[in-house]
Amino acid sequence: MLTAGSASTVHAVRSGSGSRYQAFDASSAPSSPDGTGGKSAISTAWPPIGPRAAVEDIAVALAASKGGVLVTGPSGSGKSYLTTRAVNELRGRSFVVVIRGSAALARSPYGALNILLSDLDPGYLAHPVLVLSALTNLLRERSEGKPVYLVIENAAELDELAAMTVAQLARNGTAQLVLTCTDPQRLCGEITRLCGDGFLHRIDLKPLTFQESHAWLEAGLGAQVSASGAHALWTASGGNPHYLKMLAAELAESGSLLKSDGVWVLTSRSEQHGRAITDLITTRLGRMGDGERKVLEILSLARAVPLESLLALAPADDVDSLEKRSVLVVDDSLPRMARLQSQLVGDVVRANVPPGRSNELRGLLLRSMNPDLGQRSMLLSMAAWALDCGAKLGREEALEAAAIANRQLDARLALRLVRSIPGHATMPGALAEEARAMMTLGDVAGARDLLSLHLDEPGDESTLAEWVRLKLAEAAVLLALPETTAQGCETLARVRHRLEEEVGEGQDIAALREELVLSESQAASYSGSYVEMAARLEEVLQDFESHGTEFRLLAGSWLCEAWALTGRQSEAADMAEQLMADCHDPAVSVAAARRATSRLRFAFVLAGRWDKEAEMVQPGDDLLVSAAEALPTAIDLPKAIFRCLQGRGQDGLDALIPVISQLRVQDNEGMLDVACTAAAYASALQGGQEQALRYLKEASTQPRRPTWRKERTKRYLAALARDRVDGPEAAVEELLRLADADRDEGAPGHEIFCLSSAVRLGAVAAAPRLLDSALRCQGRFAELCVAYARATMSRSAELLLEAARLAEDMQNDRFAFDIAETVLHLDQVQLDKTALRKARQLAETCRQRLRTPQSGNQEGLKLTAREMEIAKLAANRESNKGIAAKLHVSVRTVEGHLYQIFGKLKIVERSELSFALGNVEGGAK
C-alpha cells in the first residue's frame, strides 16, 4: 500500500503573522491526552493511503509491460514512496539501480547517469553507441543473471542523451524502467515514445477523494476526525497527501486542530497554514516559468476564471502544462472554468502578490472577459479580489456580491463586503445582507439588535426590492425567537400585501415573490402549518417551468416535507426522487442543495423509502470548493440520525460522536441539542444508561427557537431514549402526547411514527387509532403500520410475522426486531413450530444487524456454563447418550438441561440450536 512520507517527521512552524484560526479556549474543553492543553500532539508515522494505486500495481505492470512503468502525479502525491516500496520488494531477486534526475545534472551530458558511467573511459562519452554498449555490458555483468531495474526519480530532468540511453536499455531488454515524474509533458521524446509504443505502462496518481482523505486523516491522527474538519483540510490541500499531512501537523501545532472528547475538530472555518507549507510551495513555484507563474497568480486571486479568458492572457502551452500536472483543473461547466487544485497553493501565491500587481492583473482579466460567458458567475470572487487589492468597488456590485456570498453561506465574506460600503448602515439592502450573514453565523441576538435600530419604515428613496429584502431578513430574525414569532408572521403578511399591489410581472417582481414564498415556507416550518404551506406551494409550482432550477428545488423540497407530514407520503417520495438530480446541478448552490436534501431525506423516511434515504449522496461532499459554513450538520448528522431511527445504536454513535465534538466548538445552526438527543437514544440502545442521561442533560439547553420538524425529532428521540432509561410507561405517555399534537396540527405522517412506537412499547390499546391514522396516509411506512396494527389487534403470529417482514424489507431493523420479539413472547402453546422458528431467526438476524447487546426475551435468561456446554455439544449433533458420557452425568440430567435450554432460547427443535446459540454466545454466567 502507498504511504506519503510515513517515515519522515513533519515539523510545523507557525507563521510569523499568526494563524487566522481562532485558538480554542482550553479551559472550556477537555484536556488533551498528552497534557498540552490547547494543543494536541500527532503521530509522525502515517499509514498507507488507500484505496489507491498499491505497490502490487507496479509489480503487475512490470510483469505485463515490455519496458517498465511510469508513475506520474503532482508533487506530494506519493510517487517516490510508492516506487521505493515496490522496488524494495524486488531487491532480493533483482539488481536495482536508483537514479535521481535534477535540473543541475540535466545541464551536462549523461549527468544523471554519472553513478554508472564513472568507471568508463571519458572518450566513450563522445559516442552514444559506445555508451549504450558499455552500460549494457556493465549492467549484465553486475546483475549476475538477475533481472535489472533502473529506478529513475524525476525522469523529466534527464538530459536528452541520458534519456535516449535509458530508453534504448529498455528497448534492448537490458533493464526494466521504474520512472517517476510530475509533468509528463517535460519528458524527453525518447521516453515519451516508449509510452506510445507500449513499452511503458503509465500509472497516474490522482488526488485523494474526500472519503479517502477522511479515512487517511483518521488513520494518521489516530482518532476520529469530524467530517467538517476533514472536509476543510481536504479542500485546502486539494487532496494532495503531502499537503494534507503537513496541514494537519501545522494546525495541530497551532491549536487550530484540536482533539476534543477524543475527536479531532477544527476550532474555526478559516483556512490558514504555517511557514513549512509556505516554504515548500514557494520552492516548487520557483521552478516555474514566467507564463506559468502568471497563470497561478490570476487563478489564486480570482479563484476561478473562464478558460477562454485565461487563454487570452497566458500562452496555451503554460495552461496546458499546469493542467496536465494537476496544478489547475478545468471543469465541465458552461463556460468552462479553470481553478487551482489546491487552495494552499492559491493562498501562498496570493499572499506574495503585491497590491499593485494584483490590481493590474484584475484589470487585465476584466478586459478579457465576455460578460455573457462567466462574468456573472465570477462577480463574488472579483468583488473579494477588489477588497484585497484596494480596487474601486461600486456600491451595487458590493451589495450584489454580498447577496451571492450569503446564498453560498460564506457569511464572513458577506459581512466584509457589506461593511466595505460607505454608509451601509443607512441602506436597507445592506442591512438585510448583514442580518442574513449574522444569522448564518448563529448570531441571532446580534441580528436582532442590528435590525432593532431600523424597524421603522425605510425612507422614500428605498426601492421596492430593498424594502422587501429588508423585511424578509427582519422576519427571519423575528421567527427565530419565540417571543417575536407573531411579529415575524405579520411582517411577511405586509410584504405579501405590498407585492400583490404591484402591477406587472417583471423579472424583479417575480424574483421577490419567489423569495417571499421561501420565507413563508420557513415561517410555516416553525409553526407546523404544513397544510397551508402545501396549498400555497402547489399553486406556486403549477407553472413549474417558469421558475429557475434552484427555486424549484427549494420550493419543491418544502412541498415534499409538507406532503409527507400531511399524509401524502407517496407523492412526496415521488417528487423527492425527481428532485434528487437537481441537488447536484451546477446551477444550484451547494448551500441550497444541502438545505433541500435535508427535507428530501425527511420525506423518504416518512414515506418508508429508507432505501432511497440510504442511497443519498450529500451535495458538495466531492467538491473542493464548497459552502463555508454549516458543514458539521450538513455532512454527517442526517445519516447519523437515520441510523438511530433504524435502531442501529452503535452505528449511530460512531457517526454522532465526531459531529457532537465539532458542534460543541461551532454550532451556527443550533443543532447540538438534536445531535445529543439522538446520541442519548443510541447510547440507550447499547445499554449505556448513564451516558444517555448525560446526553439528555446536554440536550436540554436550546439556544434558538427550533423548527417544527427539529422540535418533533428531538422529542421523539428523547421519548425512545427514556424508554431505555426510565422504562416504557413514561415513553409511551410522551409518544401519545406527541401523537395527539400531531393529529391536532394535521400531521398524520408523523403521528403514525409516534403511535407505532407507542404500540411496540406495550400500548396495545392504541393499535385501533394507529390503524385509523395509517389508513389516511400513503407510502410503505403507512402500509407497514396498517399491517402491524391489524396484526396486533388480532394477536396473530402469522400476521405479525408478515408485518415484521415488511419492516425488514423497508430496512427498519428495529421495527422488525420488536415485532419478532412480540411473537416470541406470545403463548407458545398457540404457536406452531414454523412460526416460532421464523420469529426466532428474524429476531436474531435483525439483532446482529443492529449490533445491540443481548436484549429482549434473552435478558435474564442467559445460559449457565453447564447449559452452554451441553447446548454446544447438542448443536454439534452429539446424542444425549454421548453428551452424558463426555460430561460424566446421567442421560436424564442431559435431557433436563436441554428442556431448560429450549425454553430459554424459545426453540422447539434440536436443529435450531446452532442458530440460536449465536444470540447467547459468550453470555453464559
Three-state helix/strand/coil letters over 146-171? CCEEEEEECHHHCCHHHHHHHHHHHH
Q: Is 922 left (phi over 0), alpha (psi -120 to 50) or beta?
A: left
- Would you state the pLDDT for residue 371? 67
DSSP letter string, 541-591: GGGGGGS-HHHHHHHHHHHHHHHHHTT-HHHHHHHHHHHGGGGG-TTS-HH
What is the predicted pLDDT for the residue at 37? Answer: 44
Q: Order across the sheet with 263-266: list the strands.
A: 224-225, 263-266, 257-260
Sign (positive/negative) of CA torsion 480, 486, 490, 493?
positive
What is residue 29's predicted lDDT score, i.e. its pLDDT?
37
DSSP string, 286-334: TTS-HHHHHHHHHHHHHSEEEHHHHHHHS-HHHHHHHHHTTSEEE-SSS
First-to-last alpha carbon distance for the chain, in angstroms, is: 44
* pLDDT at res. 53: 55
DSSP 5-17: STTS-------TT
What was the pLDDT predicted at 782?
97
The strand pairing partners of 546, in sequence order, are none
Residue of 339, 258, 204 whose CA lies nearest to 665: 258
Nearest to 842 by CA among 855, 823, 828, 863: 823
Going by C-alpha positions, the residue among 164, 165, 199, 163 that lies closest to residue 181 is: 163
Q: What's the rounded Cα separation, in Å, for the pair 776 and 566?
A: 9
Q: What is the reported pLDDT for 774?
A: 97
Q: Which pLDDT value is given to residue 818?
A: 93
Grid coordinates belonging to 123: 572518450
Instruction: State the pLDDT at residue 31.
Output: 38
> Across-strand partners of 2?
49
3-class state of residue 71 by DSSP: strand
CB 93 within 8 A of CB 101: no
Q: What are the phi and psi torsion angles at 263 (to 5°)? A: -125, 135
Q: Nearest-CA neighbor of 721 among 816, 644, 798, 638?
A: 644
Q: Are 471 and 465 in contact (CB under 8 A)?
A: no
Sheet holding 200-204, edge to edge: 95-100, 148-153, 176-181, 68-72, 200-204
Nearest-angstrom CA–CA distance, 286 and 351: 15
CA distance 62 to 178: 8
Burial of residue 542 (number of CB atoms within 10 Å: 0-12, 13-18, 19+): exposed
Cα 385 from Cα 302, distance rounded (Å): 7
pTM score, whole prediction: 0.81
Crossing angle of helices 590-607 and 549-565, rounded to 10°: 20
Helix (H, G, I), strand (E, B) or coil at 2: strand
Q: Which residues of the chain have pLDDT under 50?
A: 1-37, 630, 829, 855-860, 922-925
* Distance, CA of 38 to CA of 257 (rounded, Å): 9
Look at residue 492 and give its three-state secondary structure.
Answer: helix
The pLDDT value recorded for residue 38 is 54
In this prediction, residue 9 carries a pLDDT of: 27
The helix (run of H) or strand (run of E) holding residue 611 is helix 610-615
CB 625 within 8 A of CB 339: yes
Kindly give the residue spans of alpha helices, DSSP state H, lying in 666-812.
672-685, 689-699, 708-726, 728-744, 748-760, 767-775, 779-794, 797-809
Q: How far apart are CA 126 and CA 616, in angstroms?
A: 66
Instruction: Give Cβ neighbours of residue 515 (< 8 Å, ≥ 6 apart).
Output: 468, 469, 472
β-bridge mates for residue 224, sequence order: 263
Question: In sequence order, what are the residues at sequence separation of 6 or more whose Cβ sits closer than 8 angstroms to the Cβ of residue 454?
Answer: 428, 431, 470
